[in-house]
Structure 1
Amino acid sequence: MTVTEERTETTTPPDRPRRRRALAAALVIALAAGGVLALAERQRETAPSANRALVDTAATTKVVGDVSNALIKIFSYTPGDLAASEKAAAEVLSGKAAQQYRTLFAEVRRQAPAQKLTLTTRVVRAGVHRLDGGTAHLLVFLDQVSTRNGKPAGGTSAAQLAVTAHLTGGQWRIVDIRSS
Structure 2
Amino acid sequence: MAVDNEAAAPRNTRTKPRAGRAVAGLVIIVLLVAVGVLGYLLWQDQRQDALRQSAADDATRLVIQLATYDHTDVDQNLDAVVAEATPGFADRYREVSEGLRELLASGEGTSTGTVTHSAVESLDGDTAVVLVFLDQEVTNVTVPDGRVDSSRMVVTVVRDGDRWLLEDAQLA
The bucket for the TM-score relative to the shorter chain is 0.5 to 0.7
Contact 1:78–1:119 (Cα < 8 Å) also in 2: yes
Report the aligned-residue RMSD. 2.4
Determine whether 1:56 maps to 2:48.
Answer: yes
**Is 1:135–2:116 an aligned residue pair?**
no
Q: Which residue of 1 aligns with 2:109?
A: 117
**Residue pair 1:77, 1:118 contacting (<8 A) in 2 also:** yes
Q: Distance in 1 between matches of 2:45 and 2:62?
A: 19
Kindly indicate whether the alpha-carbon contact (under 8 Å) linking 1:53 and 1:130 is maintained by their aligned counterparts in 2.
Answer: no
- Are the structure 2 counterparts of residues 56 and 151 from structure 1 closer, same or farther at C-alpha, using a change threshold of 3 Å? same
**CA separation in 1, counterparts of 2:56 and 2:81?**
17
Task: Report how many residues are paired.
Answer: 129
**Within 2, Cα distance between the matches of 1:101 and 1:176?**
10
Equivalent AA in structure 2 for residue 152 of structure 1: D
| Unaligned ranges ≥5, structure 1 | 1-48
CA distance in 2, matches of 1:53, 1:136: 16
1:132 positional shift: 2.0
After TM superposition, give the deviation of residue 179 of structure 1 in Å: 1.5
Q: 2:145 aligns with which of 146, 149, 152?
A: 152
Corresponding residue number in structure 1 for 2:163? 171
* Alignment match, 2:77: 85
CA distance in 1 between partners of 2:111 and 2:100 (Å): 10
What CA distance in whole angstroms lies between the structure 2 residues aligned with 1:107 and 1:53?
A: 45
The residue type equivalent to 1:160 in the other structure is: R
Larger mean Cα displacement after TM superposition, 137-146 or 55-64: 55-64
Higher helix share: 2
- Show structure 2 runs of 5+ residues with no match: 1-40
Normalised TM-score (structure 1) = 0.64
Give, as a single letter, the amino acid of the residue that structure 2 aligns with 1:117.
G
Q: Output the amino acid matched with 1:68.
A: T
- CA distance, structure 2, for counterparts of residue 105 and residue 113 of structure 1: 12
Residue type matched to 1:76 in 2?
T
Question: TM-score, normalised on structure 2?
Answer: 0.67
Distance 2:63 2:45 in 1: 20
- Helix, strand or coil for the counterpart of 2:70? coil
- 1:145 Cα deviation (Å)? 0.9
The answer on whether the counterparts of 1:70 and 1:88 sit within 8 Å (CA) in structure 2 is no
Percent of aligned pairs with the same amino acid: 24
